Amino acid sequence: MTALYEITNLSKRFTVGSRFSRQGKRVVQAVDGVSLSIQPGETLGLVGESGCGKSTLGRCLSRLYEISDGKLVFDGTDISTLSTAQMRPLRRKMQMVFQDPYASLNPRRRVFDLIAEPLRIHLSLPDAEVKSRVAGLLEQVGLLPDHAQRYPHEFSGGQRQRIGIARAIALEPKLVILDEPVSALDVSVQAQIVNLLADLQERLKLTYVFVAHDLSVVRQVSTRIAVMYLGSIVEIGDADSIFDRPSHPYTQALISAVPKPVNSEGRKRIILTGDVPSPINPPSGCRFHPRCPVAQDKCRVDRPTLTVANGRTAACHFPII
């Protein structure tokens, strides 16, 4: 199958501080040499602790952030260095849904205008057509056509996320990047939004990148899961393998912390010590070695790369296979 999105050696660096500050200018390596293929119709879950670079990677994939290095080939086009104007026709095919729908929806505009905006910008449709499309989109996400005349503050968090989703699917994209789309919502509302996303994916043949820190949600929605640590992917595989037989010690620790249903067979929880190190001054060798319960001397000097062993893909010198 031809990949919808081919990402090769993607890096993103930010410069922080200034030459006038005590520490001077410093470089944060937020995403560090990520390579990935995203297949049409799949949901790729991107997981990791806060600060691991998953949201930055999502924003690089949607080209909201300029990338520092690497190559992005989306739907057969190299978009790595396209300008904002050159990206415009491709924006139709690639949309983003954000964690906080309230922040991403202009509070002074009616829902009708918020959803109509991409239709007007990209498709130049006549008013009657825009009106009927907005009504259809609201219905597709479980809202009423009458809701079009209201303002974002008149809706609950879940309804606002439905508006964000309606806006994202308005142009019939191929790829939707969902950045923590349910983490600001109550658990019962989370389930409704997850079901809506699954339903839309099937009906509209969408491909998703689902960025989240909640592994239970990620397991529910993902075809494959990529686990990130300090800007790099440390393990990638189909969702069941990642959960049932994690290969990388970091993945093991993350999975062991997911609450299990009562009476399910207990896996011992692995408590990681210390925080995620700073991406300004990452550890030598394996970036995970200061926290890894099974680190050995080699880990402190040699940086492992993603390697396939026994059908598992992990960046570890001593994977559990």
**Interacting residues toward ligand SF4 by CB under 6 A:** 248-249, 286, 288-289, 292, 294-295, 299, 304, 316-318
Own/partner pairs, 299-307, CB within 8 angstroms, 24+ separation: 306/35, 306/233, 306/234, 306/235, 306/236
Closest by Cα among 185, 135, 177, 124 to 160 = 185
Q: Quick one: DSSP state of residue 104?
A: H
Joined tokens for residue 229: 């640590």
- The owner of tokens 């390579």 is 35
How many helices (DSSP H) and strands (DSSP E) are in the chain?
Answer: 11, 12
Judged by beta carbon, residue 136 or residue 311, the one nearer ligand SF4 is 311
Judged by beta carbon, residue 231 or residue 249, the one nearer ligand SF4 is 249
Joined tokens for residue 129: 């057509």
CB of 238 to ligand SF4, least distance (A): 21
Judged by beta carbon, residue 145 or residue 290, the one nearer ligand SF4 is 290
Judged by beta carbon, residue 119 or residue 286, the one nearer ligand SF4 is 286
Give the span between the Cα atoms of 132 and 123, in whole angstroms: 14
CB of 314 to ligand SF4, least distance (A): 8
Judged by beta carbon, residue 40 or residue 290, the one nearer ligand SF4 is 290
Q: Quick one: DSSP state of residue 147?
A: G
Judged by beta carbon, residue 165 or residue 286, the one nearer ligand SF4 is 286
Give the span between the Cα atoms of 307 and 193, in whole angstroms: 35
CB of 109 to ligand SF4, least distance (A): 48
CB of 236 to ligand SF4, least distance (A): 15
CB of 210 to ligand SF4, least distance (A): 24
Kindly provide the b/e burial profile for residues 231-245, where b requires at least 16 CB atoms within 10 angstroms of the residue's own CB: bbbbbbbebebbbeb
CB of 315 to ligand SF4, least distance (A): 7
